[in-house]
Amino acid sequence: MQFGVITFPGSNGDHDALSAIELGLRQPVEPVWYRETNVSRFDALVIPGGFSYGDYLRAGAIARFAPVMEAVARFAAEGGPILGICNGFQILTEAGLLPGALLRNKGLSFVSDWVHVRVESNRTRWTAGLTPGDVLRMPIAHGEGRYYADSETLERLEANGQVVFRYVDAAGNVMPEADPNGSANAIAGIANEQGNVVGLMPHPERAYDALLGSDDGLKILSAVLQAGIDAATARV
């Protein structure tokens, strides 16, 4: 399965994503520069974390106009799996590929810590094979990670099973103190209606090996690989 990792000026999670896919998944992967206009050679795309274009205006607000994003939108429309991590999640919301927005954290402080998230849905390409209720431990590092959407959008996300990850404590309970940024409904990650585009604030690519503190992130990356294998097998 061929992976591509989109890289913008200011990205800093791209090498982490490349390493997680190459060393953790043992799959071919290559960086995709923001000026590229064709991503059809890839089976899956990752938009990594960082501070694209210095987060000027808003996080992701400039990156969404980069040439590569037209190709990313076409890839999404054709059902290609896309994972937006941290700044990648912000870019996907700015580009309209995911609903809602990521606002300044409660307390207006940058937060760098380990968190627990609960799997809420396995009806996406990036959580297929996971079990709803599973608790994963991954790191976060962001200043604008507070998920916001209007009440109608939140109701639709919840009803459609588009809330993919929710901040919880280690036992899997939703608690105010377990939500590090004040996200609506403790949302840590969501999907589009088709389930092929997923965005989340925690960093699975920084949790692909126990030596890093957790290998729970590898479960997310492995899920899309298995989903791709299953789809290929079904076509035979």
**Structure-token pair, residue 129:** 């094979």
**Could you tell me the pLDDT band of residue 200, with boundaries at 50, 70 and 90?**
very high
**Could you tell me the pLDDT band of residue 234, with boundaries at 50, 70 and 90?**
very low
Q: How far apart are CA 194 and CA 17, in angstroms?
A: 24
**Closest CA relative to residue 187, chosen from 125, 109, 98, 107:** 98
Catalytic residues: 86, 203, 205
The pLDDT of residue 159:
97
Give the length of the chain: 236
Q: Where are the beta strands (DSSP E) in 11-66?
A: 29-33, 44-47
The single-letter DSSP state of residue 147 is E
Strand 197-200 relative to strand 187-191, pairing: antiparallel
From the number of C-beta atoms within 10 Å of its C-beta (0-12, 13-18, 19+), residue 234 rates as exposed
Asked if residue 119 lies in contact with residue 217, where contact means CB atoms within 8 angstroms, the answer is: no
The pLDDT of residue 230:
60
> Collapsing DSSP states into helix, strand and coil, what is residue 218?
helix
At residue 49, what are phi and psi to the nearest 5 degrees? -80, 175
Q: How far apart are CA 173 and CA 167, in angstroms?
A: 8
108 has pLDDT over 80:
yes
Average pLDDT, the chain: 95
The pLDDT of residue 226:
80
Which domains does the chain possess?
Answer: 3-235 (3.40.50.880)
Asked if residue 203 lies in contact with residue 86, where contact means CB atoms within 8 angstroms, the answer is: yes
Q: How far apart are CA 174 and CA 167, in angstroms?
A: 7
**Structure-token pair, residue 92:** 């996907």
The pLDDT of residue 229:
58
